[in-house]
């Protein structure tokens, strides 16, 4: 009976240690995924980004050296604009089509 008690206590401790290691790994990975992007060592000068006339920015994301802007265009459609964060150059534009059109 004494050996059984010791075994149950040891297994309980092992479960607690395992759960704490798992929780630590989850929080570390969540921090890396949603963490802030590295800060560039730019001079802090203003940068001009060219969007079509009448476009309104809905959402923006910064990922490393890229800036993603989701914008509503003057005609009501939406588009994604990918800019190089270092020089403001437009790297890509993706028009979003409604209704599964290709």
Per-residue pLDDT of the chain (102 residues; tens, 9 = 90+): 899 999 999 999 999 999 999 988 888 877 665 555 555 555 566 788 888 999 999 999 988 889 999 999 999 999 999 999 888 899 999 998 876 555
Residue closest to 56 by CA, chosen among 67, 43, 45, 69: 69
Chain position carrying tokens 């989701």: 70
DSSP state of 31: H
| CA dist., res. 15 & res. 12, Å (int) | 5
| CA dist., res. 86 & res. 35, Å (int) | 20
Please tell me the pTM assigned to this model: 0.53
């Amino acid at each position: 009976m004494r050996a059984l008690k010791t075994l149950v206590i040891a297994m309980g401790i092992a479960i607690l240690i395992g759960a704490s290691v798992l929780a630590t790994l989850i929080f570390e990975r969540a921090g890396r995924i949603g963490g802030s992007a590295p800060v560039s060592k730019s001079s802090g000068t203003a940068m001009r980004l060219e969007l079509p006339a009448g476009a309104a920015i809905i959402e923006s994301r910064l990922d490393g050296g890229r800036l993603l802007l989701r914008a509503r265009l003057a005609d009501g459609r939406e588009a994604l604009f990918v800019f190089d964060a270092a020089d403001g150059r437009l790297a890509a534009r993706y028009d979003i089509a409604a209704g599964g059109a290709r």
